[in-house]
Amino acid sequence: MITATDLRAGMTFVQDGKLIRVLEASHHKPGKGNTVMRMKLRDVRTGATYDTTFRPDEKFERAYIETKTVQYLYSMDGTSYFMDLETYEQYEIPNELIEYELKFLLENMQVKIQFFGTEVIGVELPGSVVLTVTETQPSIKGATVTGSGKPATMETGLVVNVPDFIEVGEALEINTSEGTYQRRAQK
């Protein structure tokens, strides 16, 4: 069991049979009254997010999440397919559960999938990925890094704001937690 004050972003717990992941957690002491824990939570199975508060002494069953390194194969008919590189066992995840993560996945990329018991519940992305620009406005002569930037569509369909000097065909390093441009990829 874990108390509400011990919950942090990224932790997962079980509440009323639902698997819940903490997105944000903060202590809040109103002017009068008792301290409460403000939480932004996501139901792992449905993807629904909501805000709520808990008393600091409320207890929850901690969910133990295991991960396994797999290879992303492809996505078809609303399902994404992954393969364990040691056992060649394949796992299927409905696309609506990993809608955000799919924006960063390329075929044959290695990622970690998360398990709660035997149930596959999601994909854990690396901190950054290298994606190629497939569409953007032409670069502006004399553009600097401090410009306001322009939108660029990556090979996965992700749209990222990039500096004005970036051109189609360039490989860029993209931060997966924020979906933002970091730098040109090293060759």
CATH number at residue 57: 2.30.30.30
pTM value is 0.70
Query: Quick one: pLDDT at residue 143?
Result: 52
Which range marks the domain in which residue 70 is found?
Answer: 66-124
Q: Over 70: is that where the pLDDT of 35 sits?
A: yes
Q: What CA–CA distance (Å, rounded) separates 154 from 48?
A: 27
Phi then psi for residue 96, to 5 deg, are -65, -20
Cross-strand pairs, 52 = 39
Q: Over 80: is that where the pLDDT of 102 sits?
A: yes
114 with 161, same domain? no
Query: Could you give the number of structural domains in the chain?
Result: 3
Query: Quick one: pLDDT at residue 82?
Result: 92
- Which DSSP category does 127 fall into? S
116 with 137, same domain? no
Query: Quick one: pLDDT at residue 147?
Result: 60
Query: Quick one: pLDDT at residue 141?
Result: 62
Q: Three-state SS for 56?
A: coil
